[in-house]
A and B are shown apart, each in its own frame.
Chain A
């Protein structure tokens, strides 16, 4: 995926100014920056929630124009949210099954009959969902309404729902926010496994620098809507503008 010269503004507020970067197939790409740097806006642009005023997004070598988020999902872009956005009234299993909606096609008539093609499709996708449930080790909460789950598990279910879409590009918005050390380690493991086993390209936003430096292949750093650095974790860590942005500059 390729982001070329994207700018986004809300009225007079410029959220993103002329940013370009690329995400290569199969890598883990981190987007970091201080609060309000435009990271989440960047993700929203990538998955079609916002339309940038300037610039273009290229995905799989094709330019994307004026699209809705559900089109992005069809093309293989899935995401999770900073503040968990699960369907609270539904069980873990149903949440992940909802993620498979895009791959299910039986129409209203077959759904009414239930037995026959609709059930066959349901079971076929149930198997895929169970694979994900096994992978994320959430078998024991399969039937629990997600509203009752602790935060760490909710994050995991959300990752499961995103995986159910079988994305080629997975956008993770602060997957480890509000977690304790153990949960962070688990989540890091899952992210690496998703990347290695499923070959999913991942773009993630994260504030925990230790995690970012360990997980990611390349890092792009934003500050006040502008790109200030781009490169491997080591290169970014020693970049003077990045250090200034995070620690501030002496006046």
Chain B
């Protein structure tokens, strides 16, 4: 009823290529954006920004980066955490070497470093695929974290070996560091994430996106329709690592405030991979759904029992969280391998048909 498509006709290919061929989708997105840009900032507390909103956006972006590589181009990667680290360290070096650099430029530029590293570690993908490639990217993960620990130049020889985010202003407002307001940081992250998401949607629905999907679905056939496999795979690694690197820079500079090399270890890679899998491989929307679930779950587990007066220790929350996430991953892999995004797709199709079954 709400989703009736009757009466919406396309008279040109341009209209048919619109992002939302169905008008209701555009309205729905409008409502979500209204919440993200106006209602949440007006109502959220400092805690909500720090524990929910900003992390959801950062993880969504990281998962989007991984999804471009794994979901669209079909190249499995376990090195996401380390590529996020490359972005974070690159951003740190940029703002300490060029203190007058605009922070937005610094964040967006740091992605290029991780893109270069990503391409270098993507070279094995030209020869190996599947699990063997995953192992090769795992090597990147361990090597890069080791490098972050051993190469003191990266953290400006700080005695703790971690990066401390200095206070940096943009247009007179502190954006980085302890003095920055959570709402400013939220808007900054929201802007960057929105920008990159739009770009990612556009890439994935155009020629390059089709090239990646062709390589994912059948690489031999892709080569025989004239796709240069080397270009397709390496471009996927470059774009993916760029997005992941920017997410890493946001992760440290606009959320955590400080980071040790250990923050980028394999646990982070797996968390991002879980978000991508739960959300749905090969979908942009899924990353956001997955991130909301993974970030919100521990917060809900923390607050919900307390509101009902059930005593629950923080260790128990941690255990429960791990168990539920584990169970969810298994359940989703069994029930719907395309994740939450596919669930939404099915619901939407049913709504369009409703009340008829076909």
Q: Residues on A close to B: CB < 8 A? A: 47, 49, 68-70, 73-74, 78-79, 81, 85-90, 94, 97-99, 101-102, 104, 106, 108, 111-114, 118-119, 121-123, 126-127, 130, 161-162, 165
Q: Which residues of B contact A90 (CB under 8 A)?
A: 210, 213-214, 217
Decide if B202 touches A114 in the complex (CB within 8 Å).
yes
Q: How many A-B residue pairs have CB under 8 A?
A: 104
Q: Which residues of A contact B17 (CB under 8 A)?
A: 119, 122-123, 126
Main secondary structure of the interface of B (DSSP, over half): helix
Separation of A86 and B199 alpha carbons in the complex (Å): 27
Known: A73-B225, A112-B203. 18 other contacts (CB 8 A): A49-B224, A69-B223, A86-B218, A89-B217, A89-B282, A90-B217, A98-B211, A99-B225, A101-B214, A101-B227, A102-B225, A112-B202, A114-B205, A121-B207, A123-B17, A126-B16, A127-B13, A165-B225
Return B92 CB to nearest CB of chain A, in Å. 26
Return A134 CB to nearest CB of chain B, in Å. 14
Q: Which residues of A contact B216 (CB under 8 A)?
A: 87, 89
Decide if B210 touches A108 in the complex (CB within 8 Å).
no
Return B35 CB to nearest CB of chain A, in Å. 25
Q: Which residues of B contact A70 (CB under 8 A)?
A: 223-224, 226-229
Chain A, Cβ-Cβ closest to B226:
A73
User: Among A70, A90, A126, which residue has the most Cβ atoms of chain B within 10 A?
Assistant: A70
Separation of A98 and B213 alpha carbons in the complex (Å): 9
Contact of A87 among B14, B213, B223 (CB under 8 A): B213
Return A96 CB to nearest CB of chain B, in Å. 10
Separation of A82 and B152 alpha carbons in the complex (Å): 58
Q: Could you write out 6 A-B pairs with CB less than 8 Å apart?
A: A98-B227, A101-B214, A104-B207, A119-B14, A121-B207, A122-B17
Does B208 reach chain A (CB closer than 8 Å)?
Answer: yes
Separation of A113 and B228 alpha carbons in the complex (Å): 23
Q: Which residues of B contact A81 (CB under 8 A)?
A: 221
Chain B, Cβ-Cβ closest to A161:
B225
Q: Which parts of B67-111 form the interface with A (CB within 8 Å)?
A: none
Decide if B210 touches A98 in the complex (CB within 8 Å).
yes
Decide if B226 touches A74 in the complex (CB within 8 Å).
yes
Separation of A74 and B214 alpha carbons in the complex (Å): 17
Decide if B214 touches A98 in the complex (CB within 8 Å).
yes
Separation of A89 and B90 alpha carbons in the complex (Å): 36
Return B193 CB to nearest CB of chain A, in Å. 15
Contact of A108 among B203, B213, B226, B228 (CB under 8 A): B203
Does B239 reach chain A (CB closer than 8 Å)?
Answer: yes
Contact of B217 among A73, A87, A161 (CB under 8 A): A87
Return B132 CB to nearest CB of chain A, in Å. 22
Does B185 reach chain A (CB closer than 8 Å)?
Answer: no
Return B185 CB to nearest CB of chain A, in Å. 25
Return A146 CB to nearest CB of chain B, in Å. 9
Decide if A165 touches B14 in the complex (CB within 8 Å).
no
Given contacts A74-B226, A108-B239, A112-B199, contact A118 B220 (CB under 8 A): no
Separation of A70 and B211 alpha carbons in the complex (Å): 13
Q: Which residues of B contact A123 (CB under 8 A)?
A: 13-14, 17
Does B235 reach chain A (CB closer than 8 Å)?
Answer: yes
Return A160 CB to nearest CB of chain B, in Å. 11
User: Among B206, B218, B224, B282, which residue has the most Cβ atoms of chain A within 10 A?
Assistant: B224
Decide if B226 touches A94 in the complex (CB within 8 Å).
no
Separation of A31 and B231 alpha carbons in the complex (Å): 34
Separation of A18 and B229 alpha carbons in the complex (Å): 31
Q: Which residues of B contact A88 (CB under 8 A)?
A: 217-218
Chain A, Cβ-Cβ closest to B200:
A112
Decide if A73 touches B224 in the complex (CB within 8 Å).
yes
Separation of A73 and B224 alpha carbons in the complex (Å): 7
Return A68 CB to nearest CB of chain B, in Å. 7
Q: Which residues of B contact A94 (CB under 8 A)?
A: 210, 213
Chain A, Cβ-Cβ closest to B217:
A87
Contact of B206 among A69, A114, A165 (CB under 8 A): A114
Separation of A78 and B228 alpha carbons in the complex (Å): 15
Chain A, Cβ-Cβ closest to B281:
A89
Separation of A97 and B214 alpha carbons in the complex (Å): 11
Return B318 CB to nearest CB of chain A, in Å. 37
Return A201 CB to nearest CB of chain B, in Å. 18
